């Protein structure tokens, strides 16, 4: 009954949009016509996606497996391919689809363009710390321009999973722990990838992933079971996905985890009821890699046929690499387990997106070698990478104002395995980046200053070459470089140490139970600290690390993540003060791994703890509940003060609004930028509410001595949440409003909401 309802609903949606505008009418008419000619086998073929499987510009594929896929391609049984790289390869495969299949339906080519294509930008988590939405839109735009110039139509990004657990390696791909910021970042990235008009040759289709709840993998272990309630799903996990739909994203990818014990790929409620129903999404959903077949080990599907049946009926439109739609759907329809209307709906969605890309007008429109040569890794694109790199850095500590460093007259010891590493800064999911192509910190520092810089690696962080598929082999025993490093440190005015994670220590399948500096790095840092206390620690990592010892002993700490192609230049510009750091954390840094998941928008519990000494309260015996560095935190080389928090009215109703303001002053001696943050607490709700929720922010730049009034408008929409009634609505009552430079801000004003 439910299924019939959805099919009816999607037909209604289609006819509603058919009625809505002539272009849509034309598009749907074209698709009707095409679909009327398609056999069931060809329809199942459109729903099948394969990984690039042979060198299409070379000889015919060898081996049964390859040959079978090639035959399927020629028979119109493949609708999309991923990971086919380069104009020539894409053109060659497209030619087979267009010229050799019966109906000549073009393929759509997808790839993970996560933080750049050839020009690599900071990993998304880093870039979100800029809080600069325009910048994030711009870097996605550049990535799309490069990917499309190389023949691609579709990126599997943005990843909009909310992440609260630093053990999970994939935190690097998202925008951190907050749904409000995450929603704005999702919108910026989708707009950047998709541009103004999808049929422009410099745009690509975006894909909001992983739908949904993948970031909640238990114990931070990748692909693990996730357990959260319906309110967490709607209030914390869903908002960035909804924002992506509102921004016009054309595809979704589902996720590997379960929701309410049902694998997301086979989850009717989130895919059909919510996404395609409540949210009116008329693009298509691709499964995650093999996730249809993986419903078998999940213990949800009996076999491949059952898995295909469950997935398609639940709303998964395209099968990435399970090969089950192409092999099972025809029979499933014939024996009545899957309705032809279900298949038609999925195929229509896929063809719609191909139509919007303009592939039916010109299937080779993105295949332009000239463009590819000119636009990939251009000087202009690299400038955006540098800007993004500088803006993503977060200054965590600067006690003795050791930073910024003087440009000359200093003896600097540069120490650490990552100081000359030109590969790690490219991070994971680096697409077409050339191996070892990032600028290193040593290069950046040499280009930027006249100081005498001596370098010692101190240790090897890892052995061998690393890549997406292998585990990084960490050095746990070779300390032979320590002595040289200690010697140069002892003879220097200041030591810059570059430590952290190798570029493939975070990302997919890279969960860690120990989130300290890997290998012998902390030991090296302690040794150097014995001979020189003037240490600036530059941390490169794909996740928040446990920096508790470092925070206690090291005067200056810069969180430099993995910043991409211009990493070393960006870091040097910050070290020497050419750029005054303005980044703020979008994910909390725990005091130790035992604290995770730790996040700012937690709930109070019935026994909130305020100190370690309290025994029967919700706290630990060994560390405070608060993280080491909280969400929203980050320092500058100047200082800011906040005063005169005020609201123009302490009463509002659901149709009125109030204004809140605060005075911000630059009290230091440099020009600087501050991310002014608005938080609201809904004191009593029909369900327990978070202690604070981000509800606005502004980037304000001030000269030394300058002050300004920063204002926010609060209306009913900011107070809504998914209530006990299972509806998005606000609830009358008392609210607290905070404005400050991080999520720890404590001063507040109260206001009341009435109906």
Q: Indicate the residue among 429 and 697 with the shorter CB distance to ligand BGC.
A: 429
Q: Indicate the residue among 264 and 441 with the shorter CB distance to ligand BGC.
A: 264
- Write out the DSSP string of 343-412: HHHHHHHHHHHHHHTTTTT-TTTTB-HHHHHHHTT-HHHHHHHHHHHHHH-EEEEETT--PSPPSSS-EE
Counting residues that bind ligand BGC (by CB under 6 A) gives 7
CA–CA gap between residue 180 and residue 676 (Å, rounded): 15
Rounded to a whole number of angstroms, the minimum distance from the CB of residue 560 to ligand BGC is 25
Angle of helix 482-490 relative to helix 521-531, nearest 10 degrees?
30
Rounded to a whole number of angstroms, the minimum distance from the CB of residue 106 to ligand BGC is 21
Residues 436-465, mask of contacts with ligand BGC (x by CB under 6 A): ------------------------------
Strand partners, 739: 678
Residues 596-635, mask of contacts with ligand BGC (x by CB under 6 A): ----------------------------------------
Q: Indicate the residue among 51 and 514 with the shorter CB distance to ligand BGC.
A: 51
Residue 637 interacts with ligand BGC (CB under 6 A): yes or no: no
Residue nearest to ligand BGC (CB): 156
Which of 508, 45, 587 minimizes the C-alpha distance to 256? 508
CA–CA gap between residue 481 and residue 497 (Å, rounded): 14
Q: Count of CB atoms within 10 A of residue 463's CB?
A: 11
Residue 222 interacts with ligand BGC (CB under 6 A): yes or no: no
Residue 595 tokens read as 């604290």
User: How many CA atoms lie within 13 Å of 712's alpha carbon, on the beta-carbon side?
Assistant: 25
Q: Indicate the residue among 194 and 573 with the shorter CB distance to ligand BGC.
A: 194
**Burial, 113: exposed, middle or buried (Cβ in 10 Å; 0-12, 13-18, 19+)?**
buried
Rounded to a whole number of angstroms, the minimum distance from the CB of residue 729 to ligand BGC is 34
* Residue 139 CB partners (closer than 8 Å, separation 6+): 115, 116, 121, 127, 192, 384, 385, 388
**Residue of 132, 150, 288, 546 marked catalytic:** 288
Q: Indicate the residue among 271 and 342 with the shorter CB distance to ligand BGC.
A: 271
Phi, psi of 484, deg, nearest 5: -60, -40
Residues 269-288, mask of contacts with ligand BGC (x by CB under 6 A): -------------------x
Q: What is the dihedral of CA 615, 618, 621, 623, to 10 degrees?
A: -140
Q: Indicate the residue among 263 and 519 with the shorter CB distance to ligand BGC.
A: 263
Which position among 6, 50, 156, 633 is part of the footprint of ligand BGC (CB under 6 A)?
156
Q: Indicate the residue among 220 and 481 with the shorter CB distance to ligand BGC.
A: 220
Query: By the 8 A CB rule, do 53 and 82 touch?
Result: no
Residues 165-204, mask of contacts with ligand BGC (x by CB under 6 A): ----------------------------------------
- Write out the DSSP string of 731-750: --EEEEEEEESSTT----EE
Residue 628 tokens read as 């080491």
Rounded to a whole number of angstroms, the minimum distance from the CB of residue 318 to ligand BGC is 12
Which position among 72, 112, 317, 375 is part of the footprint of ligand BGC (CB under 6 A)?
112
Rounded to a whole number of angstroms, the minimum distance from the CB of residue 510 to ligand BGC is 12
Tokens 């920096």 -> residue: 547
Q: Indicate the residue among 167 and 209 with the shorter CB distance to ligand BGC.
A: 209
CA-CA distances (angstroms) from residue 553 to 190, 536, 596?
42, 11, 23
Rounded to a whole number of angstroms, the minimum distance from the CB of residue 162 to ligand BGC is 15
Which position among 443, 493, 508, 523 is part of the footprint of ligand BGC (CB under 6 A)?
508
Residue 289 interacts with ligand BGC (CB under 6 A): yes or no: yes
Rounded to a whole number of angstroms, the minimum distance from the CB of residue 357 to ligand BGC is 19
Query: By the 8 A CB rule, do 659 and 646 touch?
Result: no
132 is catalytic: no
| 212 preceded by a cis bond (ω within 30 of 0) | yes
Rounded to a whole number of angstroms, the minimum distance from the CB of residue 469 to ligand BGC is 11
Rounded to a whole number of angstroms, the minimum distance from the CB of residue 202 to ligand BGC is 22
Strands (E), 272-351: 284-286, 319-320
Q: Indicate the residue among 257 and 588 with the shorter CB distance to ligand BGC.
A: 257
Contacts of ligand BGC in 62-91 (CB under 6 A): 82
Which position among 209, 272, 352, 430 is part of the footprint of ligand BGC (CB under 6 A)?
209
Sheet of 494-500, strands arranged across:
394-398, 556-559, 535-540, 494-500, 411-415, 452-456
Question: Which residues are the active-site residues?
Answer: 288
Which residues contact ligand BGC by CB under 6 A? 82, 112, 156, 209, 288-289, 508
């Amino acid at each position: 009954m439910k299924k019939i309802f959805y099919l009816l609903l999607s037909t209604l949606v289609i006819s509603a949009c058919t009625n809505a505008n002539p272009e849509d009418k034309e598009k749907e008419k074209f698709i009707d016509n095409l679909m009327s000619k398609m056999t069931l086998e060809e329809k199942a073929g459109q729903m099948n996606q394969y990984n690039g499987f042979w060198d299409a510009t070379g000889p015919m594929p060898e081996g049964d497996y390859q040959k079978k896929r090639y035959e399927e391609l020629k028979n119109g049984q493949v609708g999309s391919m991923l990971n086919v790289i380069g104009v020539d390869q894409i053109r060659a495969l497209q030619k087979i689809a267009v010229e050799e299949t019966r109906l000549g339906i073009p393929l759509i080519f997808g790839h993970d363009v996560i933080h750049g294509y050839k020009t690599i930008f900071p990993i998304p988590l880093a870039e979100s710390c800029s809080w600069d939405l325009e910048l994030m839109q711009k870097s996605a735009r550049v990535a799309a321009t490069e990917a499309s110039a190389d023949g691609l139509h579709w990126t599997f990004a943005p990843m909009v999973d909310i992440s609260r657990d630093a053990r999970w390696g994939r935190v690097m791909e998202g925008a951190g722990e907050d749904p409000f910021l995450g929603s704005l970042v999702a919108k910026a990235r989708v707009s950047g990838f998709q541009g103004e008009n999808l049929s422009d040759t410099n745009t690509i289709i975006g894909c909001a992933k992983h739908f949904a709840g993948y970031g909640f993998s238990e114990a931070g272990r990748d692909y693990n079971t996730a357990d959260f309630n319906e309110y967490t799903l709607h209030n914390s996990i869903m908002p960035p996905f909804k924002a992506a739909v509102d921004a016009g994203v054309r595809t979704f990818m589902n996720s590997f985890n379960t929701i309410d014990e049902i694998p997301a790929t086979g989850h009717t409620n989130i895919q059909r009821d919510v996404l395609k129903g409540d949210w009116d999404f008329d693009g298509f959903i691709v499964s995650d890699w093999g996730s249809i077949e993986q419903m078998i080990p999940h213990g949800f599907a009996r076999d491949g046929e059952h898995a295909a049946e469950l997935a398609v009926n639940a709303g998964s439109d395209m099968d990435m690499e399970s090969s089950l739609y192409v092999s099972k759907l025809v029979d499933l329809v014939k024996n009545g387990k899957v309705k032809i209307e279900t298949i038609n709906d999925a195929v229509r969605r896929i063809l719609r997106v191909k139509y919007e890309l303009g592939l039916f007008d010109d299937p080779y429109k993105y295949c332009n070698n000239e463009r590819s040569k000119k636009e990939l890794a251009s000087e202009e694109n690299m400038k955006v990478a540098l800007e993004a790199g500088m803006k993503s850095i977060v200054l965590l500590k600067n006690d003795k104002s050791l930073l910024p460093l003087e440009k000359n007259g200093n003896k600097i010891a540069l120490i650490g395995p990552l100081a000359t590493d030109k590969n790690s800064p490219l991070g994971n999911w680096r697409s077409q980046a050339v191996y070892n192509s990032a600028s290193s910190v040593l290069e950046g520092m040499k280009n930027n200053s006249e100081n005498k810089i001596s370098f010692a690696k101190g240790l090897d962080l890892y052995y061998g070459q690393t890549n997406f598929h292998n585990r990084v082999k960490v050095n746990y025993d070779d300390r032979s470089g320590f002595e040289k490093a200690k010697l140069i440190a002892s003879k220097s005015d200041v030591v810059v140490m570059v430590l952290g994670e190798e570029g493939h220590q975070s990302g997919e399948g890279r969960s860690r139970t120990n989130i300290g500096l890997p290998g012998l790095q902390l030991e090296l840092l302690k040794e150097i600290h014995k001979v020189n206390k003037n240490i600036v620690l530059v941390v490169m990592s794909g996740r928040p690390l446990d920096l508790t010892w470092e925070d206690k002993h090291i005067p200056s700490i810069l969180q430099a993540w993995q910043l991409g192609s211009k990493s070393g230049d960006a870091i040097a510009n910050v070290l020497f003060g050419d750029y005054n750091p303005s980044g703020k954390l979008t994910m909390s840094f725990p005091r130790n791994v035992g604290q995770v998941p730790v996040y700012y928008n937690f709930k109070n519990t019935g026994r909130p703890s305020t100190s370690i000494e309290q025994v029967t309260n919700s706290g630990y015996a060994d560390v405070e509940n608060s993280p080491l560095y909280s969400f929203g935190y980050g320092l500058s080389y100047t200082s800011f003060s906040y005063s005169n928090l005020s609201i123009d009215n302490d009463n509002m109703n659901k149709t009125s609004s109030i204004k809140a303001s605060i005075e911000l002053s630059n009290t230091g001696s440099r020009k600087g930028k501050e991310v002014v943050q608005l938080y609201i607490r809904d004191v009593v709700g029909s369900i327990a509410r978070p202690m604070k929720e981000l509800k606005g922010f502004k980037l304000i730049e001030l000269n030394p001595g300058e002050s300004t009034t920063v204002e926010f408008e609060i209306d009913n929409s900011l107070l809504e949440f998914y209530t006990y009634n299972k509806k998005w609505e606000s609830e009358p009552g008392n609210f607290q409003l905070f404005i400050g430079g991080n999520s720890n801000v404590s001063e507040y004003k109260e206001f009341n909401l009435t109906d």
